[in-house]
Amino acid sequence: MSPRKETAFKQRSVGDLTSRATGALSPRTNVLAGLAVFAVLVPTALAYSSIVGVEPNVGLIGVPLALLGYGIFGGSKVVVVGADAAVSVLVGSAVASFAGESSASSVVIALSLMVGALYLLLYLFRFGWIADLVPTPALKGFIQGLSIVTILGQIPALLGHPSFEHSGFFRRIIELGSSLGDIDGSSAALGVAALAVLFGLKRFVPRAPAAMVALVAGGVAVAVFHLADHGVSVVAEPASLLSGLGSDLSIDGALLSGLLPAAAAIVVLGFTESLGASQIVSDQVGERTHPNRELLGLGAANVAVGVGGSFAVTGALSKTAVAVTSGARTRVANATAAVLALTAAIFLRPLFVYLAQPVLAAVVIWAMVGMIDLSYLRELWRKTKPEFFVAQSAFFGVIAFGVMPGVLIATLLAFVFLARHISRPPVELLDRDLSGRWKEMAAGDVPRHLPVGLYAVRFEGPLVYVNARAATEQLSVLARRPDCRAVVLDAVSVTAVDSTAIKQFDGAVADMRRQGQQFWIAGADERVATHYRRLSDDRTVRMFATLDDALQAYLELSADAPENPPANS
């Protein structure tokens, strides 16, 4: 091979390897990935429509609209935005709570538009950090409780059982147990068979589009065996493409104000899951995650589905994982899925009469079982029992009180969890070792290598109203020691201060000064130091760049002060 040909060969080889590593795959690969995304998006959108309480076509038309809205404004080329089980349950709960007052279409559209508006508002104010408000244990407990409640709600459709007459998790279990004789045999057989297909494919052929296979097989069974004539409930053909935009729409101020808590819950839950989907893409493809850009994309997607009459959507973890695994690296994949979904919504509506409700229920149950993660709860129990109880409280809140109260419980737990951490920040007494390095002391120890009368303490975290009392109590405890002449606060880890905390500190410092004691601050960054000086009424507090500078200043003030003798000397 000539040197020129060898060089060209090497360049092609390196280019091939680079394209594989960076994900710059061929358009054909992205089109095939779009087909895989279509195969998981459409069946779940049809199935989740039953959770919401609307026609399957309402969920189906939302698929291309969500992909289009996010594709234009979203930050990721690969993240798949669509119907989500947990979000759909929240929408369904809102629809049920307004039953008799507003039509399902009115609630669905109003909620989608409100969710989109909230996302866009958060984007304008750069509130990408909002997803961090809910700790993972509370979120996991809430989602798993949601899964159990939804599974129970789908059992009547799975078995051909009459719909539940009662609300409440435990009352429904009693009702189901007392009326097992009302189960329709044909429906139950079809539903259980669909579950067997779904779980069997997941176990033995995990890459197969299980939901699509189950829906197609169920449709064939309905058509061949005329199951609709034997008591199996099927979906009626939608009257129009945009069947969600019916003549019964009525959106007013009372409805919007009543839906605000549900919209806020969907935004927090949906944004958290969407960031999880973005993280999958980041880990597998190397694409950077931009939280604020995600807010814009999700806002556009939800406004689009609201205008089209469909229900709220979010970045979907499982669908995004399918896209990445199938080779999606560009927007071609999602565009392909959108075109296929729109084609299905337009031309396949006559086939809806072969969609059996037991099969749709089986798809929902299968998806919800996949969201139950007992290993996570076991790990929490083993490693951190307080967080385990947070997860369990959110779980039982959903089970005992319902979805929306469960959302409120999870949110309250999140703020309690946050306040608990901030209100009791680490406050450590410091000493120096023989090499001159500052180190934390064990509880109950006294500094052995500092001058007599000098105490150094490190405060970690923001010094704000929720922890001001605890911090000043620690300062007062040190000041009450008989030999205390000065306390220096190592503020390297203090990230913020507020007026409430500074007022508390001013009082403690004034008490120290009356006793002839000094209070100094070392290591505060310029922003925190400036804010402290502006908020504090006390101008006697000295600021030092480092703890060593504060130590030197103390030695100059107390030139004759001997060092504490080493222990056991």
Ordered domains of the chain (ranges, CATH)? 19-418 (no CATH), 427-557 (3.30.750.24)
> Is the pLDDT confidence value at 398 over 90?
no
Between 146 and 521, residue with greater pLDDT: 521
The C-alpha atoms of residue 133 and residue 415 are separated, in whole angstroms, by 8
- The residues, ordered by sequence, that sit 6+ positions from 33 with a Cβ below 8 Å of its Cβ are 323, 326, 327, 328, 333, 336
What are residue 428's DSSP bridge partners? Answer: 458
Pick from 559, 491, 492: which is nearest to 520 by CA?
491
Amino acid, single-letter form, for residue 327: G
Which tens digits make up the pLDDT trace of 482-509?
A: 989 999 999 998 988 999 989 988 999 9
Give the phi and the psi of residue 100 in degrees, each rounded to 5. 90, -20
- The residues, ordered by sequence, that sit 6+ positions from 152 with a Cβ below 8 Å of its Cβ are 169, 172, 173, 176
Residue 366 tokens, joined:
């299968």
Q: State the average pLDDT over residues 380-384.
A: 91
Q: Are 84 and 59 in contact (CB under 8 A)?
A: no
Q: What is the pLDDT of residue 10?
A: 42
Which tens digits make up the pLDDT trace of 38-82?
A: 988 999 999 999 899 998 889 999 999 999 999 999 999 999 999
Q: State the average pLDDT over residues 225-233.
A: 92
Q: State the average pLDDT over residues 335-341.
A: 95
Percent of the chain scoring above 90 in pLDDT: 44
Reduced to 3 states (helix: H, G, I; strand: E, B; else coil), residue 346 is helix
Pick from 453, 449, 433: which is nearest to 566 by CA?
449
Q: How confident is the model at residue 313 (pLDDT cuts 50, 70, 90)?
A: very high
Which tens digits make up the pLDDT trace of 524-559?
A: 999 999 988 888 888 888 999 999 999 999 998 876
Q: How confident is the model at residue 155 (pLDDT cuts 50, 70, 90)?
A: very high
> Is the pLDDT confidence value at 25 over 90?
no
Q: What one-character DSSP code corresponds to residue 23?
A: T
What are residue 314's DSSP bridge partners? Answer: 82
> Is the pLDDT confidence value at 12 over 50?
no
Q: How confident is the model at residue 123 (pLDDT cuts 50, 70, 90)?
A: very high
Give the phi and the psi of residue 493 in degrees, each rounded to 5. -95, 5
Q: How confident is the model at residue 299 (pLDDT cuts 50, 70, 90)?
A: very high
> Is the pLDDT confidence value at 563 over 60?
no
Q: What is the pLDDT of residue 164?
A: 83
> Is the pLDDT confidence value at 191 over 80?
yes
